[in-house]
Amino acid sequence: MRVLTPAEVLFEGEAPPTVLPACDHYAGSEKLMLKSLALQQQLGPVFDVTLDCEDGAQVGREAEHAELVASLLGSEHDRFGRVGVRIHDFAHAHWRDDARLILRAAKRAPAYITLPKIRHVHDAAEMIAFIEATRRELGIAQPVPVQLLVETHGALTRVFELAALPGVEALSFGLMDFVSAHDGAIPDTAMRSPGQFDHPLVRRAKLEISAACHAFGKVPSHNVSTEVRDMSVVANDAQRARNEFGYTRMWSIHPAQIEAIVAAFAPRDEEIATATDILLGAQTAHWGPTRHGDTLHDRASYRYYWSVLRRAQATGRAVPQDAAPLFSKVSANG
C-alpha cells in the first residue's frame, strides 16, 4: 500500500496552512532594490523582497517607479520568483495604474501584491477583485496572492473578515502607522522595543492579527524593528514575535536585519530531529497514535511537528535525509 504523507492525512482534505519565507524585506529605491535582490541570490529564497511603489515612488513619478519595479520582476535579478510588490493604497489615485502596469509589463507576475492602509473590508475586496480581473484579462495563468497591511482602526476591527477574504495569503501589522493613528494617546516608545511588546493597545492589535491569520490558515507578518545597528535587538524582537505572539514572518527594512530574522524564526536542530523521529514513527503506524520516549502522540501533535519541518524548509535549515518519505509519495508493501 502507498505510504501517506503528513500533508495528505493531517488536514482532513483541506490545504495545509500557508508557509512563506520568514522575512519580508522592503526596498524602495532602484539602488536598494538591486542590492536586496543580489543578497537574495546569495542567501537563497529564505527571504522575500518587496519592491515598494507606495513609499518608494516620488510624487508625480508613480508610473515611472512602477515601470522600474515591473522591469525587475522575472529578470535575471529575480532568480527564485520570490519578489513581491507593494502598490499604493485604496485612497490613492494611482493604485489601479500600479497594478495594471506591473502585471502587464513584468516578465513574471509578482509573488504577491501588498495592499497598504486597508480601512474597510470592501476596499480590500475591491482591490483584490481588480487585481484578479486584470490578471485574467492579461492571460496570467495563476492568481496573484495578496497581502494586507493592517495599520488602521478600521482594519483592526474587521481583521477576521480580512483574513477570510479569498486571495489573501498574509496580514501584516503596520506598527508605526497604527501608533500614530492614536493621535498621541500611545507614546512613541511603543514604536520600538520593548514598548512595542508591552503597551496594551499594541499587544492587543498584534494578538488580534495573529489569531485571525491562524483561524483562516493565513500568515501573520510582524512589523519592522527600527534597530539597524544592534542585531541582537532585532533577533530578540523576532523571537518575541514568534514565541509570544504567534507570528511566522517579519518585515526587514535593512539588509543587516535579514539573517537575524531568519535565524530567529528557524527551528533548532534538536527540534528538527525530534519532529523527524515522531513523524516517521507516525507514518510507519499509518498515522495512528504512537509513543516517542515517554510521551504519547496523535494527529494533533503530528500537525505541530509537521509545521516544524515545513518551517525548517522555509528558513533554509537542513532536514535529515531520513525525512524524505514525509515530503514525497512512496509505495511500500504491507
* Residue 177 assigned as binding residue: yes
Q: Distance between CA 193 and CA 23 in Å, rounded?
A: 18
* Three-state DSSP class for residue 164: helix
Q: Which residue has the cell 518587496?
A: 50
Grid cell in block for residue 236: 530578540
Contact 266, 43 (CB under 8 A): no
* Three-state DSSP class for residue 60: coil
* Residue 151 assigned as binding residue: yes
Q: Which residue has the cell 515601470?
A: 67
Contact 95, 131 (CB under 8 A): no
Question: Concatenated DSSP letters for 236-276?
Answer: HHHHHHHHHH---EEEESSHHHHHHHHHHHSPPHHHHHHHH
Q: Residue positions in the annotated binding site for substrate?
A: 86, 151
Q: Residue positions in the annotated binding site for Mg(2+)?
A: 151, 177
Q: Residue positions in the annotated binding site?
A: 86, 151, 177
